[in-house]
C-alpha cells in the first residue's frame, strides 16, 4: 500500500512539472499550473494542451485612461465615450509630469492659482486635471 502513495506522489510531481513547462511555453502562470498538474495530473495536462497560447503580454496596450473620468478608452479616441469630454492629443515627446516632484507640485500650485483667479472660486479636481492636460502656459 505504501508503494501506491509513493508512485502517486511521484506521478503528481512529474505531471506538475510537465504542466508548468507547457504553461511557460504558452505564456501562462506556471505555479498555478504546477499545482493543478500535481493534484489533477492527466486532466490538467489535457486542459493545458487545449488552451491557446496567451499573446497578450507581447501585444502593445491600445488603450489609455481618460483624464476626466479615469475609464479605459481607445488610444486614438478624440472624445471620451463615458464622460463625453474632448480629449487632448497625447504628446509623445513631452512628458506630462516634470522630472522631479518639486517641479510637479509647483506647477500644480500655479495651475490652481490660475484657475482660482479665472473662476473666482476654488477649482474642482476635474478642472485642475483638464488644465493640466490642456497644457496651459502660466
Model confidence over 65-120: pLDDT tens digits?
A: 888 888 888 888 889 988 898 888 766 544 455 556 777 788 788 888 888 888 88
18-to-5, 21, 23, 53 alpha-carbon distances in Å: 20, 5, 9, 16
Residue 135: the pLDDT is 66
Mean pLDDT of the chain: 81
Task: Report d(CA 131, CA 107) in Å as an integer.
Answer: 11
Instruction: Single out the residue of 89, 95, 61 nearest to residue 77, CA to CA.
Output: 89
What is the DSSP secondary structure assignment for residue 60, as one 8-state letter? Answer: P
What's the pLDDT band for 56 if we cut at 50, 70, 90? low
Q: Which three cell numbers stand for residue 42?
A: 492527466
Count, in order, helices (H) and strands (E) of the chain: 4, 2
Which pLDDT tens digit goes with each residue over 62-72? 788 888 888 88
Amino acid at each position: 500500500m505504501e508503494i501506491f502513495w509513493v508512485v502517486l506522489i511521484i506521478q503528481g510531481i512529474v505531471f506538475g512539472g510537465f504542466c508548468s513547462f507547457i504553461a511557460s511555453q504558452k505564456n501562462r502562470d506556471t505555479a498555478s499550473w504546477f499545482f493543478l498538474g500535481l493534484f489533477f495530473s492527466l486532466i490538467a495536462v489535457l486542459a493545458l494542451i487545449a488552451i491557446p497560447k496567451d499573446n497578450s503580454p507581447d501585444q502593445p496596450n491600445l488603450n489609455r485612461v481618460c483624464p476626466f473620468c479615469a475609464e479605459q478608452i481607445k488610444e486614438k479616441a478624440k472624445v471620451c465615450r463615458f464622460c463625453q469630454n474632448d480629449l487632448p492629443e497625447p504628446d509623445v515627446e513631452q512628458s506630462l509630469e516634470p522630472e522631479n516632484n518639486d517641479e510637479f507640485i509647483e506647477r500644480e500650485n500655479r495651475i490652481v492659482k490660475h484657475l482660482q483667479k479665472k473662476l473666482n472660486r476654488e477649482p474642482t479636481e476635474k478642472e485642475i486635471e483638464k488644465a493640466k492636460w490642456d497644457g496651459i502656459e502660466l
